[in-house]
Structure 1
Amino acid sequence: MLGAAASGIGSAAASAVGTSVGDEVYKYGKELFHDVSRRVDNDLENNYERLIEHAEKLCARRDDILAQAKTKQVTQVCEAWISRVMKIEKEVQELETKYKKEKSKKRTFNQLWNGSSESRAELNKSMAEKCEKWHNLWLEGKFEIGMVVKKLPEPRLKLNMEGMTDPNEIAQQICGELKSKRCLLLLDEVWEVLDLPLIGMYDNEKDSKVVLATRHRHVCYDMETDEEINVQRLSEASALQMFKVKVGRNANLPGIEPIAKLVVNECAGLPLLIDKVASIFRRKDNFHLWNDGLRSLRRWPSIKIQGINELIDYLKFCYEDLDDEVKKVCFLYGAIYPEDYEIYIDYLLECWRAEGFIHDANEFRDARGKGHSILDELINVSLLEKSEKINHVRMNKVLRNMALNISSRSCNFKVLVKPREGLQEAPNEEEWKQANRISLMDNKLCTLPEMPDCNELSTLLLQRNRDLRSIPELFFGCMENLRVLDLHGTGIASLPSSISCLKCLRALYLNSCICLRELCYLEGLEHLEVLDIRDTRINHFPIQIGRLIQLKCLRMSLSNFGIGNSSNVEFPQNVFSSLSLLEELQIDVDPNNRSWEATVKAITKEVATLKHLTSLSICFPTVDCLQSFISASPLWKDFRFTFQFSVGYHDSTRYQILDFFEYQIRNCLKFANGEGVDPIISDVLLETDAFELIGHKGASRLSDFGIKSINKMRGCLIEGCDEIETIVHCNSEGRSALECLEKMYINNVPKLESIWEGPIHAGSLARLTTLTLRRCLKLKKIFSNGMIEQLFKLEHLSIEECPEIEEIITESENNGLKPDAFPRLKMVVLSDLPKVKSIWTDDSLKWPSLESIKISMCQMLTRLPFNNDNAISLRCIEANQSWWSALVWQDDAIEKRLRSIWLQSSS
């Protein structure tokens, strides 16, 4: 006990001594910390100031060099130096942010004691290293003038033209000088056809080139250019990048990035506008100025903004240069739709026709043709542009603002345009009175004025106001000059009686009015030419349609026929017979509701007698029904007649094949769940551009329908056909097959063993650009002997879920394959091919156009047919990590080259 007590006392004493010493150490350490902290802070501040100084000196030297070389060609060494300096601006911003963050922190001795003060020291060290690095970079930038600017070649001609006045003599002398030389002629802003021989540019054997830039597409056509490149608007990312480069360092100010994106969005991807706007924002050096600049830009064109108005004057010149008033008013009409809105071309042309813009074409077909010519002209001069969505156009926001500005100063084109503004209440009646074209589409309107006074109104767009449940009874009472009325996608259940007042109405759109049950009061629409009542709740045939004797285009659906009112499913006789001027007819059905079958059979008999029909889209329930129409109609084989025929029942009435084309297909046939080879199908195939064969039985190959019958088709989709074994079988005496085929899609054809059997005659598959094979369980051979030689236009190849394929290009079928095979192939997709071991046996093919290859679930494919010299256009190999790691390489150089373009996928 005594020992224990003594031990305890000793420990306490030692503890007391330790605490005393610790206090002294802590106190000393604290003083030392404050001293060190002051020194670190001083060093940090000094290094930060040095950093900014070096960055400014570097940027100043870069700007001097750029100014020096503004009209000259910079050397590669100088370009590399400038590129390195460009990256520094971002580094400065990052270090500046870190510095301010560190400066704002309150440092304590306990943080130092606990080892959490490393970040400030690391930042200090990083700044010091950057200072040294940037100083050396500044020294490297002391270029001599010869190091900045490349020595340009001597002039290509040095001709003495003194005393020459005859253009032919001058041209001959230029031609003589160029005869033995290879030259490049660049022509910008070409407004009309240029006679190249007139300036001495004749064809020569030295492969000279002429590159021209023009806003008028006809110039390219008339000058017979070999290739046309449509310069698209910049993408969002590219536009933002260009804007930042033009603005310079002010684009990197704190909080500016979100505003910069909004500013760029206002420029609609137009490089000229981005350049002008960037020059304005380059002078704004704080958040408030940027915010105010964005506000001003959004108010333009109601306020003047220096620089932009000059650009608009330039664009307006293209408008003023249009050679007639019809084209001008057609352009202005595009502004009543929202900015960048994708306008369906057929709909737009119908509105132009209804408005009277196209007044010198009696037939609807001719009016469409003239409308397409006007549209093409507007696209050619860049006042409208083609959308990525097929058969659609759009007007970008800059040109739309210009059009609205022009309309505001016009007496004959006063517009009230408020689409997509979230309106819940309609504009006041005074605004209605002043306008002759009103667009309130895509809002949240619940009500409309009782009887607005707008006798001059010719177009009223109210589509997709889904909360609009009813229209006041007298609403249309003072709109006797209305020509276009679009109510599609609204919530209305019926039409008001005042619609009968619309004596001048030419186009009425009620499609997708899913609550609309009745079609009443149409007898007064004596000049109506277009009526669209697809996808409504109407469950019987509206007999009033028969009284619209001027009707030229009718689109309707039978999907609800017989639902809830089976007694009215009967088709009234002589309705279509009375529509003697009808040119275009589209009838949609619900594939899951067969109650429309009897109605279609009755309709078919009357439609076949129409003398002016030029376009028909309809679903025939049976081959016999199709036969009935074909045998009775004198027009269907007329070269001007277009059709979309669906025969038989299928889950979907959509024509999938049409989605794969970048242009409009005229004639399409879908044959679903049929049997055998009926002569009437072969007969229709003779006129068919795109064919879908779905769930067919009783045929082992497509060519059973006749080689001649399938030769016109441009697109072919074969799906779920359990008995198809090959696509084409040819004998040695046969003719070429599938001469016009551009796109082929084969999906879920379990017995397919090959695409081609027998000899392949010249011209077969000569236009094929896309081949897709999916879920072909027995397929082993894709390209049979001689097939690849015909595929010189193939661009896209996709093979998926074909478990028996071992080689994409089978060696036994393609002995002696030339290196220039597949000259245009751009994209290859290989997916879920468990047995595939090779694309091609070696790296002998050139693959000159191949840009991307996507590979997934091909675990036995361990070699790629590429080397350091072939596949020069390859930019992307998309595959997962495990597959890439298992690849076998001929040498490290190839692996290094391809690794740089490998994109890791998640699959």
Structure 2
Amino acid sequence: MDALTSKAEDITIEVNNAELLGKPHRKEVRNWLEKVRSIKEQVSNIEKKLKEQNKCWDGCMPNYYLRRKISKMSLKLIIQADELIADGKFESVSLEQEAVLGCTLPTTSIASKTTADVTLEEILHCILNTKIRIIGVHGMGGVGKTTIMMNINNRLIKTMDFDHIIWITVSKDVDVNKLQRKIAKKMKIDLEEGEDDDDDTKAKIFSALERRKKFLLIFDDMWDDFPLDKVGIPRPSEENGCKIVFTTRDLRVCRGMGAHEVKVKVLSDEESWELFKKNAGDVVLSTGVEELAKAVTRECCYLPLAITTVGKAMCGVNDVRVWKNALKELQQSNLEVKRMDDVFVQLKFSYNRLRNSELKSCFLYCSLYPEDHDIHSEQLIEYWICEGIIDKRETRDDNMNKGHAILDELISISMLKLVESGENYKVVRMHDLIRDMAIRITSLESPRSMINAGVQLKESLFEWPADAERISLMLNDIKVLSGQPNCHSLLTLLLQRNPLEKIIPHSYFHHMCSLRVLDLSGTRIKALPESISNLKNLRGLSLRGCKLLQEVPSLSNLEELRVLDLSCTTIRELPSGMEAMVKLQRLNLFLTKELHVFPIGIIPRLSFLEELTMCRSGWKWSSMTTEGARIEEIVNSTQLANLEIDFTDLSSFLFHVNSRNWQMMKNFRLCVGSIISPYPKPKFSVEINSCNLIGEDNSLLLPYNTRCLHINACEFISLWNVMRSLNMSELCVCRLYSCKKMEFLMADEEPLLPDLKELEMRSMGELLTLCKGIPSPDALKSLESLYVENCDKLKYLLSDRLLQLLRSLKHINVRGCDGMEEIVAEEEEKVIGKNEDKSSMTMPLSRLQTLSILELPNLRSISSRVLICNALETVFIESCPDLKKLPFCVHNLPSALKQIKVHTWDQEWWDTLEWDHPQTKAHFQSLLKFTYDI
């Protein structure tokens, strides 16, 4: 024991010294010391027993039995001690920390229940989830990705969930070879200087990681994805338990690595203030300083890096004037607050990493919009095209596609934030600090910009920079522009949404010979200066929403014009010289109600015209007119890809449809008669108003790729009769309003509308049933939403057989149908056994999410069968006084139900409802909400 104890003491000293150096000791050393302690305890017990019970028989005789027993125990301990002495020959008691278990990193702690803490817990959950192997943590620069991962690194070292944790800071342009060397250095792998044998390097890294068994690799600040096998990293799997986590500003890196994505969000308002106080100190709570300090915090835009930087810079400052100056500097985007340059450098690194000048220019263009402004993608991309940033492709459509690709790239690297997205549009926004950084770049580098957007300017008497290439004065309070600015380099001038009434003198644009983009939309301008006619390089002119503008000067010199937007103006005729604009690609005349003539011969001269928008214009296209252009000019135009026009009558519409001009269209919106529908039209839509569709001479013919059909105030027997000879496989939305003589929607077994998702029928006074006869199983197989309103002759909405064929139905909404007695009716020919109770039968509606029954005074039943609706989330009921029972039972309660809304005046009705079981009533009662608004 003396020999073993001495060895243990020596090893303990080595372990303590290693821990002082931050090096953990080996697990085998820890186990060895535990065994030594165990033997020492056993030997101590033996010695104690020998002293206490050395004699027996009142001390007359030695205790031979006990001695013999202790001898056997001692022999075993001697053997164990000899083995431990032999096993205690360790080459080293400690491990190199970075190469083995991991390295505790210096970082700021994260408070619990904050945005960062929630994200941290989400990442930890993913790391410990056996199904997720690679995790990509993404977000804008300075949002706190590295801090979160450092906290996770330190926590996992303590919990020892992994055998080894390896942290690699990647950053900037790191190719495979450089990345291998960084990994090798961390793991103390010996790579010879200048070694270029890729296979040998891969093998060394692979072998080293395999030896480390269950490892966690953390790559911080990645800018590109890479193949694991090329570096030599074993692929993480459920079997080996290994994980890879990386941080990046570029969402595309996550997708390139096939990673589970976790986004790091900016702080909340309260969290931002707490972080600022922590860094700036108690001085921020002083009288006169607190409100200024809160304003300064808001200017840091909820970005942890900026808040921390500015907070430390203002620490201990109690002079109100200094705080006011700091606030002004931040508001004016000067970024001259002490240490704020550090934030700028971080953010600018993302800009510098953009792969070409085209991307950089597109990004900087976004700063022309006001702070926190919603930027609509179509308008933004059109600016890019007209200024010439991406105008290098054959067609406008090609350029638009290129623009959307650039926009998606800027979103993916967090330079822009996606606010809203639909089928045909995107809305993005620029983070305030990112915008400040962009403004600073454009004030120092090319393209030089002067940006005073949305700052409540009332006049423009300031000096315009002669070298400015972009000037934005949008969203101000400027009423008059005067002078003759000397801006020969100016490419873009944005003046939209000012109460602008005059531009004087007429020579105002005389020194803007390079101008390519001019936006005056939403102003109160009544007349344009004559000098606008001499902007020979102008490519985009927007006068959208200039409601007082009745006349535009001659545009005969604008041969480079690509886009002319005169929508929502009161012009009475097209500008003269339009036939000279041979490069025009888009002409927007939407809602030009005073425009009653479209001159003959203009469309054929516009050989590059791809988009023509004239819905709700005073001019309607016809095949019979003698006053202006006829529909033949549209039909013969080979470049038109986007057409939105109105027709005078059905025959003119049919002339266009029969021409098959629509086959090459990327979008069309066609309307016959006066537009009544309040809905915005999706792509490939047709609206037919006030037409007689009965008889062969009036049969409706539609383009096969029509996706939305709206028929209003027409006369026809049934949709089936109108369309039975047509291939309408792409129709997704059908709306029928106030149509006379229509008794049923469909009949027989024809597969009428297999892709229809939304069916809406309003004020169909003669409608008797949706389906006459037995429908085909595929007739309405894709229908998701059914809306029926004011169809007073309908006694029931759906037969039970038809309902069971609507496999995709998610929403049922019935309102104001005075004659309706049942929502779902049993078919008359169906025989039910004498002893069979219909209320015990069930009907599964597996996808139904919303059931709305409103203002149905004679409704007696929703369904005689019990509905099984496991996806049902919401039920709305109003003014159905004869309804006595809901079609649900205790054994099949809708488990997903979140709320049942009943109108306030129906409280008494609710109290008299019948229930199959008290538990059913309790289930619905717990989710009940009485409301005035349904």
Structure 2 residue identity aligned to 1:716:
C
Contact persistence 1:585–1:616 (CA under 8 A): yes
Contact persistence 1:576–1:603 (CA under 8 A): no
Q: Compare 745-754 and 674-683 and name the one that shifted more.
A: 674-683
Match among 514, 532, 536 for residue 547 of structure 2: 514
Counterpart Cα distance in 1 of 2:570 and 2:647: 22
Counterpart Cα distance in 2 of 1:894 and 1:256: 59
Max radius of gyration: which structure?
2
Task: Determine if the alignment matches structure 1 residue 360 to structure 2 residue 392.
Answer: yes
Task: Determine if the alignment matches structure 1 residue 749 to structure 2 residue 764.
Answer: yes
1:712 matched residue in structure 2: 730
How much has 1:400 moved relative to structure 2? Answer: 2.3
1:335 matched residue in structure 2: 367
The structure-2 alpha-carbon separation of the partners of 1:228 and 1:631, relative to structure 1 and needing over 3 Å to count, comes to farther
Match among 629, 634, 650 for residue 602 of structure 1: 629
User: Residue 684 of structure 1 aligns to a residue in which SS?
Assistant: coil
Contact persistence 1:170–1:200 (CA under 8 A): no
User: Residue 607 of structure 1 aligns to a residue in which SS?
Assistant: helix
Counterpart Cα distance in 2 of 1:651 and 1:879: 32
1:575 matched residue in structure 2: 602
Task: Determine if the alignment matches structure 1 residue 395 to structure 2 residue 410.
Answer: no
2:901 matched residue in structure 1: 878
Match among 674, 678, 681 for residue 649 of structure 1: 674
Task: Determine if the alignment matches structure 1 residue 423 to structure 2 residue 457.
Answer: yes
Structure 2 residue identity aligned to 1:582:
L
User: Residue 613 of structure 2 aligns to a residue in which SS?
Assistant: strand
User: Residue 493 of structure 2 aligns to a residue in which SS?
Assistant: strand
Structure 1 residue identity aligned to 2:452:
K
2:583 matched residue in structure 1: 550
How much has 1:451 moved relative to structure 2? Answer: 0.9
The structure-2 alpha-carbon separation of the partners of 1:73 and 1:645, relative to structure 1 and needing over 3 Å to count, comes to closer
Task: Determine if the alignment matches structure 1 residue 854 to structure 2 residue 876.
Answer: yes
Deviations 1:565-598 (A, max 9, x none): xxxx665432222222222112244579999994
Q: Compare 588-597 and 688-697 and name the one that shifted more.
A: 588-597
1:302 matched residue in structure 2: 334
How much has 1:739 moved relative to structure 2? Answer: 2.7
The structure-2 alpha-carbon separation of the partners of 1:309 and 1:607, relative to structure 1 and needing over 3 Å to count, comes to same
1:77 matched residue in structure 2: none
Structure 1 residue identity aligned to 2:727:
S
Counterpart Cα distance in 2 of 1:673 and 1:599: 24
Structure 1 residue identity aligned to 2:746:
V
Match among 767, 771, 774 for residue 789 of structure 2: 774
After TM superposition, list the pairs within 5 Å mapping 1:463-474 onto structure 2: 463-474=496-507
Counterpart Cα distance in 2 of 1:265 and 1:870: 49
Deviations 1:137-171 (A, max 9, x none): xxxxxxxxxxxx99x99959999x99995888999
User: Residue 799 of structure 2 aligns to a residue in which SS?
Assistant: coil
User: Residue 782 of structure 1 aligns to a residue in which SS?
Assistant: strand
How much has 1:414 moved relative to structure 2? Answer: 1.8
Deviations 1:784-831 (A, max 9, x none): 3454455554444432223344444446699998786333x4444332
1:101 matched residue in structure 2: none
Structure 1 residue identity aligned to 2:393:
A
Contact persistence 1:583–1:613 (CA under 8 A): yes
Counterpart Cα distance in 2 of 1:158 and 1:857: 67
Task: Determine if the alignment matches structure 1 residue 478 to structure 2 residue 511.
Answer: yes
How much has 1:624 moved relative to structure 2? Answer: 1.8
User: Residue 401 of structure 1 aligns to a residue in which SS?
Assistant: helix
Task: Determine if the alignment matches structure 1 residue 727 to structure 2 residue 761.
Answer: no
The structure-2 alpha-carbon separation of the partners of 1:315 and 1:303, relative to structure 1 and needing over 3 Å to count, comes to closer
After TM superposition, list the pairs within 5 Å mapping 1:675-714 onto structure 2: 675-676=692-693, 683-702=701-720, 704-706=722-724, 708-714=726-732
Match among 558, 571, 581 for residue 525 of structure 1: 558
User: Residue 646 of structure 1 aligns to a residue in which SS?
Assistant: strand
Counterpart Cα distance in 2 of 1:338 and 1:403: 12
The structure-2 alpha-carbon separation of the partners of 1:883 and 1:868, relative to structure 1 and needing over 3 Å to count, comes to farther
Counterpart Cα distance in 2 of 1:757 and 1:523: 60
Q: Compare 331-340 and 674-683 and name the one that shifted more.
A: 674-683
Equivalenced residue count is: 733
Deviations 1:469-521 (A, max 9, x none): 34421111110100001112223333222223311110111232223233223
Deviations 1:63-116 (A, max 9, x none): 9999xx999999xxxxxxxxxxxxxxxxxxxxxxxxxxxxxxxxxxxxxxxxxx
How much has 1:865 moved relative to structure 2? Answer: 3.5
Contact persistence 1:745–1:772 (CA under 8 A): yes
Contact persistence 1:385–1:394 (CA under 8 A): yes
The structure-2 alpha-carbon separation of the partners of 1:505 and 1:899, relative to structure 1 and needing over 3 Å to count, comes to same
Question: Unaligned regions of 5+ residues in structure 1, if any?
Answer: 1-61, 75-148, 179-183, 563-568, 659-664
Give % identity: 25
How much has 1:749 moved relative to structure 2? Answer: 1.9
1:832 matched residue in structure 2: 855
Deviations 1:3-34 (A, max 9, x none): xxxxxxxxxxxxxxxxxxxxxxxxxxxxxxxx
The structure-2 alpha-carbon separation of the partners of 1:570 and 1:895, relative to structure 1 and needing over 3 Å to count, comes to closer
The structure-2 alpha-carbon separation of the partners of 1:280 and 1:650, relative to structure 1 and needing over 3 Å to count, comes to same
How much has 1:783 moved relative to structure 2? Answer: 3.8
Contact persistence 2:587–2:612 (CA under 8 A): yes
Query: Over the residues paired in the alignment, what is the CA RMSD in angstroms?
Result: 5.3
Contact persistence 2:711–2:736 (CA under 8 A): yes
Counterpart Cα distance in 2 of 1:507 and 1:635: 27
Structure having the higher helix fraction is 1
TM-score by length of 1: 0.67
Contact persistence 1:670–1:691 (CA under 8 A): yes
The structure-2 alpha-carbon separation of the partners of 1:539 and 1:803, relative to structure 1 and needing over 3 Å to count, comes to same
The structure-2 alpha-carbon separation of the partners of 1:904 and 1:315, relative to structure 1 and needing over 3 Å to count, comes to farther
How much has 1:637 moved relative to structure 2? Answer: 1.1
Counterpart Cα distance in 1 of 2:211 and 2:884: 61
Match among 464, 470, 473 for residue 437 of structure 1: 470
Structure 1 residue identity aligned to 2:714:
H
Counterpart Cα distance in 2 of 1:253 and 1:405: 32
Counterpart Cα distance in 1 of 2:521 and 2:859: 52
Counterpart Cα distance in 2 of 1:807 and 1:281: 72
The structure-2 alpha-carbon separation of the partners of 1:424 and 1:871, relative to structure 1 and needing over 3 Å to count, comes to same
The structure-2 alpha-carbon separation of the partners of 1:241 and 1:723, relative to structure 1 and needing over 3 Å to count, comes to farther
1:845 matched residue in structure 2: 868
How much has 1:854 moved relative to structure 2? Answer: 3.3
The structure-2 alpha-carbon separation of the partners of 1:296 and 1:561, relative to structure 1 and needing over 3 Å to count, comes to closer
Structure having the higher strand fraction is 2
Counterpart Cα distance in 2 of 1:798 and 1:314: 53
The structure-2 alpha-carbon separation of the partners of 1:650 and 1:287, relative to structure 1 and needing over 3 Å to count, comes to farther
Contact persistence 1:791–1:822 (CA under 8 A): no
1:821 matched residue in structure 2: 845
How much has 1:545 moved relative to structure 2? Answer: 0.9
Match among 737, 749, 755 for residue 740 of structure 1: 755
Task: Determine if the alignment matches structure 1 residue 461 to structure 2 residue 461.
Answer: no
Contact persistence 2:591–2:617 (CA under 8 A): yes
How much has 1:781 moved relative to structure 2? Answer: 3.4
Contact persistence 1:534–1:588 (CA under 8 A): no
Match among 790, 802, 814 for residue 799 of structure 1: 814
Contact persistence 1:770–1:794 (CA under 8 A): yes
Deviations 1:182-218 (A, max 9, x none): xx999998866687998556799xxx99999976555
Contact persistence 1:880–1:904 (CA under 8 A): yes
How much has 1:335 moved relative to structure 2? Answer: 1.3
Structure 2 residue identity aligned to 1:684:
L
How much has 1:529 moved relative to structure 2? Answer: 1.2
Q: Compare 398-407 and 350-359 and name the one that shifted more.
A: 398-407
Question: Unaligned regions of 5+ residues in structure 2, if any?
Answer: 1-109, 123-154, 166-186, 190-201, 831-837
The structure-2 alpha-carbon separation of the partners of 1:604 and 1:215, relative to structure 1 and needing over 3 Å to count, comes to farther
Contact persistence 1:876–1:903 (CA under 8 A): yes
After TM superposition, list the pairs within 5 Å mapping 1:117-196 onto structure 2: 155=161
Contact persistence 1:880–1:905 (CA under 8 A): yes
